[in-house]
């Protein structure tokens, strides 16, 4: 019997996974508009004291690491947000983003995030209350097929 493929994880547990951004991933393309929407959603649920499920991450288990097939945009943005909130050793901030689009968007989005004064307890809320659904597959073709079915209208992966 194979390991459980889908699991709901707190954000704190997501950031404890051994994740990597594979070469086939597209650049980080979220703009300030996308970041603003995520922050607004997080703050609304924080004020209402409700669990917020941020979305799904699709992972391909490869040689002890989990490659991100889907969810890189949200995870990178959450890394920037958590860095602003005081977590200095955070996922992806040590990754090398080679694409100029990624570098530019990371810079602009962090500048936007840094302009916020977030409420007390917001970091704890994101880490301990917010959730993501982790889907981990050990077949890359299956992971891509799942990604395609979930993102039929999204931006495609780089070839």
Q: How many alpha carbons fall within 13 Å on the CB side of residue 117?
A: 0
Neighbours of 47 (CB within 10 A): 10
pLDDT, position 25: 85
Domain coverage including residue 53:
6-149
Answer whether residue 47 is part of any domain. Answer: yes
Total domains present in the chain: 1
- d(CA 43, CA 120) in angstroms, rounded, equals 11
Work out the pLDDT band at 157, boundaries 50, 70, 90.
low
Mean pLDDT (the chain, rounded) = 87
Q: Is residue 99 part of a domain?
A: yes
Confidence of residue 91 (pLDDT cuts 50, 70, 90): low
Does residue 87 fall inside a structural domain? yes
Q: What is the pTM of this model?
A: 0.86
Q: Within a domain: residue 157? A: no
Residue with tokens 């990624």, as numbered in its chain = 102
What is the greatest pairwise CA distance in the chain? 49
Instruction: Give the gyration radius of the chain's Cα atoms.
Output: 15
User: Would you state the pLDDT for residue 49?
Assistant: 95
Whole-number pLDDT of residue 135: 92
| Residue 159, domain member (yes or no) | no
Least confident of 1-5, 32-36, 85-89, 112-116: 1-5
């Amino acid at each position: 019997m194979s390991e459980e493929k889908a699991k709901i994880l707190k954000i704190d547990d997501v950031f404890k996974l051994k994740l990597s951004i594979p070469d086939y991933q597209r650049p980080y393309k979220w703009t300030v508009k996308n970041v603003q929407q995520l922050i607004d959603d997080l703050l609304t649920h924080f004020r209402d004291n409700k669990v917020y499920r941020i979305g799904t991450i699709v992972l391909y288990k490869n040689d002890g690491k989990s490659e991100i097939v889907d969810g890189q945009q949200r995870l990178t943005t959450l890394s920037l947000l958590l860095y602003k909130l005081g977590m200095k050793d955070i996922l992806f901030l040590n990754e090398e983003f080679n694409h100029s689009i990624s570098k530019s968007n990371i810079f602009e989005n962090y500048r936007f995030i840094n302009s916020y004064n977030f409420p007390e307890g917001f970091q704890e809320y994101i880490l301990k209350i917010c959730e993501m659904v982790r889907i981990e597959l050990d077949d890359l073709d299956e992971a891509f097929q799942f990604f395609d079915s979930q993102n039929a209208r999204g931006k495609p992966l780089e070839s």
